Amino acid sequence: MKKFLFSILVGILFIQTAIVDLSAAGETGADFLLIPKSVRAHAMGSAFTAIATGPDAIYFNPAGLVDGVFNEATLTAASWINDSFYGKVSYRHALDIGGFGAGLYYFNSGEISKRPDGRASVGSYAYQAGVLDAAQGLKLTEAFNVGLGMKLLFEMIDGESATALAGSAGAQYNIPIDDIQELYLGLVVENLGTSIGYKDDFSLPALVRLGVADVIFDGTIKATADLKYLFAEGIFGGGVGVEYSPLKLLDIRAGYRFGNDIGTSLGLTGGIGIRYIDDLEYVFDITAASMGELGMSMMIAMGIVF
C-alpha cells in the first residue's frame, strides 16, 4: 500500500508539472485521441482505468498489460458520428514479468464539404488520423502493477499533414476485501508529448484519469467508476459502469458518461461480450452508445486468446 501511495504522489507531482505547460494552451490538436478505442470499456461508460486488461490496456492503462498468462489479439471496427469511422488491430503478449502490447489505429471523418467563408460548397475533403502504439506493463508486487506507453501519431487534412510523439504512464493496485470481494484502484496520465499542427502548433489533449472498481463473486459482477480531467481545456468528465457475467461465456455491460466531457459520448452506453472456447478462446464484443443529438455509435470487436 505504501508503494502505491508513493506512486500516487509521484504522479501528482508529474501532473502538476504538466499543468504548468499545458493549462495555458487553451486549445488542443489530435482530439481524435479522446475517442474510446475499447469496445468493452465503452460499453461500461469508459470507466475502465482500474480493471483494464488484455490489448485494451494499451489504450486505457498500460499497467493492465500485466494480467493474464495467455497472448491475445483483437480487431475492432466502429461507426462513429455522421459518416466517420475507425478501426484498429492490437496485440498483447504475456511475459514472465508482465506484458507487452502493440496496436495500430486509423480514423477517417468521411467526406466533409468545403465551404470557404460559409459560402456554397466547392468540393470536399476528409480528415484522417492514425496512431502506432507500444506499451509495457510490469508487475512490481502481487498487488501492484505499473506501465508505460508510447505513441506515434499523424493527422492529414486537405493535403496537409502533421505528426507528434506522446507517452502515457499508469498504475493499478488490488486490495482484497474478503473471500468474494476485491477492490481495484487505477491511475493514468495520457497524451503528454510534442505539439502537433499545420500552420499553428497545438498541444495534445493531455489528461489524467482516476479509477476504482469493486469486483465481487470471483469476477461475476464488476462495478466501476472513473474521473477524468483534461489539462488544457480545464474540463472534468467521467463515467460509471457495470459488467455482469451470468455465464462463463457471456458478459452483459452497461454504463453512463457524465460531466462536461469532450471527444466521447455523454449518456447511456451498453453492450455484450460472447466467448467461445475450443482449442483456443474466441471473443466477440459489441457496444452501442448514445451520442445525444448526433445519434448512436456502434463498435464491434473480435479477438482470439492463445
pLDDT score at 149: 98
Evaluate if residue 264 carries a pLDDT over 80. no
Which of 7-21, 79-93, 119-133 is the most confident on average?
Answer: 79-93
Q: CA 45, CA 194: separation in Å to the nearest integer? A: 29
DSSP states of 63-125: GGGGS-SS-EEEEEEEE-STT-EEEEEEEEEEETTEEEEEEEEEEEEEEEE--GGG-S---EE
pLDDT score at 11: 40
Evaluate if residue 8 carries a pLDDT over 60. no
State the average pLDDT over residues 25-33. 76
Q: Where are the domains of the chain?
A: 2-111+128-305
State the average pLDDT over residues 82-97. 93
Name beta bridge partners: 229: 208, 236
Architecture of domain 2-111+128-305: Beta Barrel (2.40)
Q: CA 190, CA 105: separation in Å to the nearest integer? A: 16
pLDDT score at 260: 59
Which of 13-22, 192-201, 261-270 is the most confident on average?
Answer: 192-201
pLDDT score at 5: 36
Q: What is the pLDDT of residues 198-223, one digit of tens each?
A: 777 889 999 999 999 999 998 999 99
Its pTM stands at 0.85
Q: Are 55 and 103 in contact (CB under 8 A)?
A: yes
Q: What is the pLDDT of residues 115-152, one digit of tens each?
A: 666 666 667 788 999 999 999 999 999 999 999 999 99
Which of 21-25, 65-69, 98-102 is the most confident on average?
Answer: 98-102
Backbone angles phi, psi at 76, to 5 degrees: -125, 140
Name beta bridge partners: 172: 145, 186
pLDDT score at 119: 66
Confidence at 17, pLDDT banded by 50, 70, 90: very low
C-beta atoms surrounding 106 within 10 Å: 14
- The grid coordinates of residue 59 equal 489504450
Q: Are 207 and 228 in contact (CB under 8 A)?
A: yes
Per the listing, cell 486488461 goes with 53
- The grid coordinates of residue 170 equal 499508469
Q: CA 111, CA 267: separation in Å to the nearest integer? A: 27
Q: What is the pLDDT of residues 139-196, one digit of tens each?
A: 999 999 999 999 999 999 888 899 999 999 999 999 999 989 999 999 999 999 999 9
Q: Are 33 and 155 in contact (CB under 8 A)?
A: no
- pLDDT higher at 197 or 271: 271
Confidence at 55, pLDDT banded by 50, 70, 90: very high
pLDDT score at 14: 38
Which percentage of the chain shows pLDDT scores above 70? 86
pLDDT score at 262: 52
Evaluate if residue 38 carries a pLDDT over 60. yes
pLDDT score at 12: 35
- pLDDT higher at 114 or 239: 239
